[in-house]
Amino acid sequence: MLSHAEDLQRRCASLRDVPLRLAFVRDWLRHAGPDVVVDVVVGTVAGSPREDVGLLVSLALCEESFGALRDEAARTASERGHVLAAQLLGRHPPEEGPGELRVPDFGRGRPLTLGERKSLARRRDRQVLARVLRDPHPEVVRILLGNPALTEEDVVRLAARRPVDPKALTAIVHEPKWAVRPHVRRAIVQNPWTPLGVAMLLVPHLTRPELLELERSADLRGPLREMAAALRRGASAH
């Protein structure tokens, strides 16, 4: 009998486009109970599901619309004795934001309106994009992430920027084209402005060397260091 993760993998197999697969996973989760979610996350911790399926489930669970399901699954995991899965699924209170962030000078001799900045985020001119990449507004970032001229290097820089509005970082996580990129995920996890509940769900999708790096990182938040250490020890045991 197929596990829940294997069944999901089979259903996703015919969908080659990452956004389509993520959309399918979202729909699948809407019909899944907390027990099913726990089974998939426990498998992810153990390294048993296919990486793409486990990652897509984690990315979907980062969305606020799945908050209630995530809470139920965290309780279920705790009741079943799956400590790491419960910690991964647990949500965390919002942390204090960075305050007002500086908008870059776009060379127009005056501050641009948000609408003008969003319009510039759609431009493909690299000189324009170099300035837009420094814009802190989450709505500008959201539009920028869909710009065909954007490169992975650009997105890694966006993900590593600090201080930054946490909503700008979650915008990257919600864009599957970029969230599936390993370097982007690592930058998101390492950024102290990433909401802790989002960063936690991404930790199992890092490599063993990356987990070791996180474990040794003195400036990383404690829960992330502890999760990286626990996952690395678990991987060593298999």
Nearest one of 143, 97, 98 to 117, comparing CA atoms: 143
**Residue 118 main-chain phi, psi, to 5 deg:** -65, -35
27: its two tokens: 């729909």
Gyration radius of the chain over CA positions? 19
DSSP state of 113: P
Extract the residue ranges of the chain whose pLDDT is less than 50: 236-238
Q: How much is the pLDDT for 187?
A: 98
Q: How much is the pLDDT for 13?
A: 83
Domain spans of the chain? 4-89, 101-205
> Which residues, including other chains, have CB under 8 Å from residue 73's CB and lie 6 or more apart?
34, 37, 38, 41, 89
Nearest one of 208, 188, 209, 187 to 197, comparing CA atoms: 188
CB 69 within 8 A of CB 29: yes
Classified as helix, coil or strand, 122 is: coil
Nearest one of 178, 124, 168 to 149, comparing CA atoms: 124
Measured distance CA(64)–CA(80) in Å, rounded: 24
Q: How much is the pLDDT for 237?
A: 44
Measured distance CA(176)–CA(172) in Å, rounded: 8
